[in-house]
């Protein structure tokens, strides 16, 4: 931030130009243990990917919109699930929903929301999804998923790789179920066979800590295996608009981002969530123009170069 600024200063949200600055403000607001939940992840996998700029291309009609599961989204950016958001702000999910709506972004609500879904979903004007974990006793999860659908959630995300439980969930709810935690082509095939109508490439699963593979590293091989049969999304460490463009170029239809809006929530409430998301959207559009791409369908592996160093 600014040189010689007072310790603990919270800058006006409009002064912030990237999500890492928003993170600095969140760190000043939160206790160390809570901040550790939002601290930046390893960027090595993203840093190995660079762009191939294209000049003299007319991108004045730039369009970053995308359709997912019958719903049109302003940008290929979904607010990922963050549990118990009152840890970060007194109004928790209510402020997150307001900020996401202001930025025209859909959001994923977790099973362990600190605010009842019936209060949050109406505020998520750009769309609400719901996430549950696949676990031995699915009674509570299925009941919650049905309640979420009744409240207006358009998609259910299921974290885990138990295909029998996934099949049961897909049969129990009336909206698309998206399998989260996919890291291999074999898992992708199994999830589709179990009824998943979408996949989220992610190294987080409900039964253990994050895996060693970063989502951005395995995304291309999973996308190749799926061959557009269902939408492939990704999450894990996306903190910049350029990160989103890298994921989209490597095969993702959209990206889930959780840390950046959560930092915005902690530092400024709804205004911080909106600022974080709009920074990402704006940076994505700028970088697409730099690469000579006026719409998402023009993105391909040729947009990026993956270095091995």
**CA 13 – CA 86 distance, rounded (Å):** 20
pTM: 0.94
- Residue 207, pLDDT score: 42
Q: What is the pLDDT of residues 227-274, one digit of tens each?
A: 999 999 999 999 999 999 999 999 999 999 999 999 999 999 999 999
Residue whose entry in the numeric block shows the structure tokens 């890492």: 20
**Strand 254-257 to 232-235 pairing:** parallel
The DSSP output letter for 205 is B
Nearest Cα neighbor of 287 from 237, 238, 248, 241 is 241
Instruction: State yes or no: pLDDT of 205 exceeds 70.
Output: no
Q: Model confidence over 106-117: pLDDT tens digits?
A: 999 999 999 999
Q: Where are the beta strands (DSSP E) in the chain?
A: 49-51, 66-68, 71-73, 77-79, 107-110, 128-133, 155-159, 177-182, 198-201, 232-235, 254-257, 304-306
Nearest to 300 by CA among 246, 256, 241: 246
pLDDT bin (cut points 50, 70, 90) of residue 196 is very high
Report which of residues 105 and 212 the model is more confident about: 105
- Across residues 142-154, what is the average pLDDT? 96
Using CB atoms within 10 A of its CB, is residue 22 exposed (0-12), middle (13-18) or buried (19+)?
buried
Residue 235 has which token pair?
A: 């999450």
pLDDT given at position 2: 57
Domain architecture of the chain: domains with CATH: 13-42+62-294 (3.20.20.70)
Residue 4 pLDDT greater than 70, yes or no: no
Q: What is the pLDDT of residue 40?
A: 84
Question: How far is it, in rounded angstroms, from Cα 258 to Cα 289?
Answer: 25
Residues 273 and 99 sit within 8 Å (Cβ to Cβ): yes
User: Percentage of the chain surpassing pLDDT 90?
Assistant: 89
Q: What is the pLDDT of residues 45-59, one digit of tens each?
A: 999 999 999 989 999
Looking at every residue in the chain, the average pLDDT score rounds to: 94
Distance (Å, whole) CA 95 – CA 273: 8
d(CA 67, CA 211): 30
Complete DSSP assignment for 122-184: GG-TT-EEEEEE--S--HHHHHHHHHHHHHT--EEEEES--HHHHHHHHHH-SS-EEEEEE-S
Tokens 């004045």 -> residue: 60
The pLDDT tens digits for 288-298 are 999 999 999 99
Closest among 276, 275, 283, 205 to 246, alpha carbons compared: 283
pLDDT in tens, 208-226: 444 457 899 999 999 999 9
pLDDT at 125 over 80: yes
What is the reported pLDDT for 206? Answer: 41
What mean pLDDT do residues 117-126 have?
Answer: 97
Do the strands 49-51 and 177-182 form a parallel or antiparallel pair, or are they unpaired?
unpaired
> Left (φ > 0), alpha (ψ -120 to 50) or beta: where does 186 sit?
alpha
CA distance 57 to 290: 9
Residue 204 reports pLDDT greater than 80: no
The pLDDT of residue 165: 96
How far apart CA 121 and CA 151 sit, in angstroms, is 7
């Amino acid at each position: 931030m600014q040189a010689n600024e007072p310790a603990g200063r919270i800058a006006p949200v409009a002064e912030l130009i990237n999500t890492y600055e928003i993170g600095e403000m969140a760190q000043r607001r939160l206790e160390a243990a809570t901040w550790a939940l939002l601290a930046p992840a390893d960027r090595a996998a993203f840093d190995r990917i660079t762009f191939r700029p294209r000049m003299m291309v007319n991108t004045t009609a730039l369009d970053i919109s995308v359709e997912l599961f019958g719903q049109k989204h302003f940008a290929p950016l979904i607010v990922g699930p963050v549990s118990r958001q009152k840890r970060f702000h007194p109004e928790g999910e209510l402020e997150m929903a307001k900020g996401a709506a202001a930025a025209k972004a859909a959001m994923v609500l977790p099973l362990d929301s600190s605010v009842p879904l019936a209060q949050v979903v109406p505020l998520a004007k750009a769309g609400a999804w719901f996430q549950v974990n696949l676990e031995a006793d699915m009674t509570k999860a299925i009941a919650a998923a049905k309640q979420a659908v009744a409240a207006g959630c358009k998609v259910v995300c299921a974290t885990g790789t138990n295909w029998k439980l996934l099949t049961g969930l897909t049969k129990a709810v009336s909206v698309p179920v998206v399998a989260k935690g996919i890291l291999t082509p074999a898992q992708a095939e199994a999830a589709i066979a179990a009824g998943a109508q979408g996949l989220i490439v992610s190294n987080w699963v409900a039964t253990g800590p994050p895996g060693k593979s970063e989502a951005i590293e395995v995304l291309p091989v999973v996308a190749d295996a799926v061959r557009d049969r269902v939408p492939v999304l990704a999450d894990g460490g996306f903190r910049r608009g350029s990160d989103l463009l890298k994921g989209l170029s490597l095969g993702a239809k959209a990206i889930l981002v959780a840390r950046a809006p959560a930092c915005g929530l902690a530092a400024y409430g709804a205004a911080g969530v909106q600022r974080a998301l709009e920074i990402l959207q704006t940076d994505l559009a700028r970088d697409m123009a730099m690469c000579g791409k006026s719409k998402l369908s023009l993105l391909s592996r040729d947009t990026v170069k993956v270095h091995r160093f």
